[in-house]
Amino acid sequence: MALTPSPQWLDTGNNAWQLAAATFVGLQSIPGLTVLYGGIVKKKWAINSAFMSMYAFASVLVVWILFDYNMAFGEQWFPFLGKPGLATSASFTTGQAIIPAAAAGMPALTFPMATLIFFQFVFAAITVIILAGSVLGRMNFTAWMIFCPVWMTLVYTVGAFSLWGGGWLAAMGVADFSGGYVIHLAAGTSGFVA
């Protein structure tokens, strides 16, 4: 069996760094924030808080792959939102990573789309887990099970597309290099409102 050469656009160093950085963020979520939250709540809520973190991580993964990734980083549907769609086909995930609405203003990415999907997923997941910190001991698990996918779809994707996906805020020149708006402001404001 002949080996298929790597595509010309693939930079294995960039790909490795993106995967390593994403893994570090994932470790901040599970077990990092899970253990932190288990330690700061009353003993009777420790298991519930751990399950809230783990469920948030898992449910975000499901909705991220089904439609939220493309709502946050896909082709523009509205000025603040991308078109929902699956991020599962082999041709999609193995092709060169691109953020269609923002491609004109950024250099070409030199890693596969699967890496970008994973990288952005862990940031989406940690956002919901940060938000969980504000409702520990105040929200039951059933309500949390409904809240996580709905919040991801209606709140996070709008912020992510508007700033990182090439939406209306990016067009106005707003920059968010480290997640201050998309992650921390969204989680903090939502936690304050909750």
Could you tell me the domains of the chain? 12-193 (1.10.3430.10)
**Is the distance from CB of 151 to CB of 104 less than 8 angstroms?**
no
User: Is pLDDT at 102 greater than 90 in this prediction?
Assistant: no
Identify each DSSP E strand in the chain by its residue range. 76-78, 81-82
User: Is pLDDT at 51 greater than 90 in this prediction?
Assistant: yes
pTM over 0.85: yes
User: Is pLDDT at 194 greater than 80 in this prediction?
Assistant: yes
Position 4 scores a pLDDT of 81
Q: Show the tokens assigned to 71.
A: 């709502």
Residues of the chain above pLDDT 90, percent: 85
pLDDT-derived band of residue 76, with 50, 70 and 90 as boundaries? very high
Instruction: Calculate mean pLDDT across residues 163-176.
Output: 91
Q: What is the mean pLDDT of the chain?
A: 94
pLDDT-derived band of residue 187, with 50, 70 and 90 as boundaries? very high
Q: Show the tokens assigned to 77.
A: 């549907």
Number of Cβ atoms within 10 Å of the Cβ of 43: 7
**Is the distance from CB of 11 to CB of 111 less than 8 angstroms?**
yes
3-state secondary structure of 41: coil
Helix and strand element counts for the chain (H, E) = 10, 2
- Asked which of 10-24, 124-138, 163-177 is least confident by mean pLDDT, the reply is 163-177
pLDDT-derived band of residue 97, with 50, 70 and 90 as boundaries? very high
Q: What distance in Å separates the CA atoms of residue 11 and residue 19, rounded to the nearest whole number? A: 12
| Phi, psi (rounded to 5 degrees) for 134 | -85, -15
Question: Where would I find the H helices in 84-171?
Answer: 90-94, 113-132, 141-151, 157-163, 168-171
Instruction: Calculate mean pLDDT across residues 90-106.
Output: 89
Torsion sign across C-alpha atoms 148, 153, 159, 163: positive
